[in-house]
Amino acid sequence: MTNTNETIFALSTVLGKSGVAVIRISGNYALKALNHFHIKKEIKPRFATLVDLYDDSSQLIDNGIIIYFPAPNSFTGEDVIELQVHGSKAVIKIILEELSKIFVMARPGEFSLRAFLNGKFDLTQIEGIADLIDAETKMQAKQAIKQISGELERLYSNWRQRLITIQSKIEAYIDFPEDIWAEKSELEKINNEVQSLIQLIQEH
């Protein structure tokens, strides 16, 4: 069960040797990381700031970039801190160990879940993000981008509205069969609308 009151953290890049590793923190107390790593510089929202990171015994861990995204204008809708450090396994391990002293390690997909719960994305967009991460072809990537942009949600909303309209016409026919809805032409219109919608869905 997700506790959205907890401040969470996770490695956002693949663990291994690389030039840069990205670690993200999200939650009401994300800014506590600044004090924990003894960061004295002023951290302006949405600005990349070069800082030194120290452990709780004041030993230098690494220097890197920190970016602060204040709520609600972040991926999760919460306060988010992004740390960009050297992609050394040793450095990453130390930083994650330090963060575990004050925060909770995020479960798989928890950042996206919080974004969904906070209304930053709808379900189709969240699925699109997962699909884009897993995409191996250009076509798969394009389809995922459509989901993330909200294009599919708008399409599904249009289908839903058409279904509601069709349903209301059918209910009107059932309630008032002796009126205009009983005319053959009106029933044919309803049937044509149903068939048209079915075709659109099948072709999608």
Range of the domain at 70: 8-117
Residue 29 included in any domain: yes
Full-model pTM: 0.71
The model's confidence at residue 182, banded by pLDDT at 50, 70 and 90, is low
Q: What is the CATH number of the domain that holds 78?
A: 3.30.1360.120
Q: What is the CATH number of the domain that holds 162?
A: 1.20.120.430
Whether 3 shows a pLDDT value over 70: the answer reads no
Residue 97 sits in the same domain as residue 126: no
Distance CA 70, CA 65 (A): 16
Residue 1 included in any domain: no
Whether 181 shows a pLDDT value over 60: the answer reads no
Distance CA 123, CA 113 (A): 10
Average pLDDT, the chain: 89
Give the pLDDT score at 178: 67
Residue 72 included in any domain: yes
